Every structure is written in C-alpha cells, then in structure tokens.
Amino acid sequence: MRLFEAIIDANHRAVGGDANAGLHPADFAEALPVIALTCIDPRLNALFPNALALPAEQFIWLRNAGNIITGPMTSTMRSLALACAVKGGREIAIIGHSDCQVAKTTTTVLLDKLKAVGVDRSRLPDNVNEFFGTFGSERQNVVKACNFARNSPLIGPKIPVHGLLIEIETGKLDWVVNGYDTLPASPLGQLPGMRFDSIGDLGSFKNFEMGEMKFPEMKIGDAALPENLVPPVTVPPPPKVATLPPLKITGKIPAPPPIQPRPRFPGR
C-alpha cells in the first residue's frame, strides 16, 4: 500500500469511528514529506494535518484563496516547485473543501466586493474570471489544478500530484485524482510513435549504462562525424595565368613630318 492509499484508508476508518485508525509514518519515509495546497478558509486549521494522519514536521502546507492554480508557470507553481526542490517534498496533494466561499462567489459579486474595499474595475485585468481563477465546482477546480501541476515543467515527472476533497463538517477525504495513476511508466514510454513490449525490443541497448558513454570535446560548429565518415576535401590547384611575352621594338622610330606653314591670303 502506498502513502496516500494508506492515508485515505486511515481517514475513512477514523471517520467511521475506529479509534485506532492511523498510519506509521516511518513505513513511508521515502514518500515524505507531503506538500499540500489548500484554501485559506480558517475552518481548515483544525483539520490539517490530522486528517492526513501525518505529523506536522512531515506536512508542508501551502495556502491560497480557493486552492487555485491558474497556470503551469504561476507563483503558486513556483512555491510548489521550491517546496519539492528545497524542502524535499516527495508527493503533492491539492486539497479542495466543501462549502467553499470562493466557489459561491460570482464575478458580479466579486466585483462588488472589490469595489466595496476601494478597488476600481478599471484597474483590474479585462478577464477577471481568468485572472482570479473563479470556479463553480470544487471538484472541477481540483482536477484543473492537478492538470496544471502535473504538466508544469517545474515539477519533476516522478512526483505524484494527487487531488482530494475534504468535507468541512466531518474531515472525510475523497480522492478526486489519483496521482499514482498519472505517473509515467518510463521515459521511453513518453516518446511518441515508439513502443517497447519487452526488454528484448531494446536489443543491444538493454545493458547500456549512461556512464559508459563518452562525449568528445568539441565546440559549436565542429564536425560531429567520425573521421572515417568525413569525406576528404580536395582543394584544386589555382589555374595558371598566361603571361604575355615582353614587347620588343626593332628598327628606328620614324620622326614625325615637319609642320608646314599656313598660306596667307591677300588682304589679310
């Protein structure tokens, strides 16, 4: 049983009245700590991390209004990425909750509430719904957030991204997106148009190790072909330039004829 499978099982048993329900975090050390993105609703303060049966030191808690993610490169995704890379988070859970006030707030109501606190409509983005990520279904909002997180280049492909809903009144968890089901089977399986039914399909590459590969020292623009495959380059000799024989003058150069005087005309 994997971590969130055990968490859901323990949660349902606890909600059902099992006083001994819980889990042993030491059994899931390789999957801890967990990163959770939830709403800012203060009613959640009494539920987490107890609803996940996790100790506080294994629970990295991120919060925003409506547990909303509006894109794969947003500030929320930056926080999730840093929580994984810097704080060592191994699995992500995006957890919505019932009776969410953000889900009940329409765009018109939101604009009225913003105006009431001095925010003029002219200073807001044109597409208010897209900017604030307003939604009408808590479940759909969790699915959308999981899709953004799973497809974000900031989150490693080996990190499961789960989607959950928690019931405010009881603390019961409902699994919306099973992050284990969306993990890639292998890097080769992600290449379009390629299929490997068995290790034999890989041929001589099955025993290949990355450390065995040697790369030559080269610069951009250098030839990458082995020497035995590079065709020889033959430079033709420059064409011969014909030279004219030197000019030879024989005999004497005749002198120009004498200049004859112009005749004079009478009366001039």
Compute CA 5 distance to the chain's CA centroid, rounded to the nearest angstrom: 27
Q: Tell me, what's the pLDDT at 52? A: 97
pLDDT tens-digit readout, 130-140: 999 989 899 99
The per-residue pLDDT for 88 is 97
**40-91 residue pLDDT tens:** 999 999 999 999 999 999 999 999 999 999 999 999 999 999 999 999 999 9
pLDDT value at residue 159: 97
pLDDT tens string 188-212: 333 333 333 333 333 333 343 434 4
pLDDT of res. 246: 53
Question: In this structure, what DSSP letter does residue 175 have?
Answer: E
β-sheet with 91-97: strand ranges across: 59-63, 34-38, 91-97, 161-166, 173-177
Q: How far apart are CA 178 and CA 91, in angstroms?
A: 11
- CATH homologous superfamily of 3-99+134-180 equals Carbonic anhydrase (3.40.1050.10)
pTM value > 0.75: no
pLDDT attached to residue 183? 75
**CA–CA dist 217, 83 (Å, integer):** 37
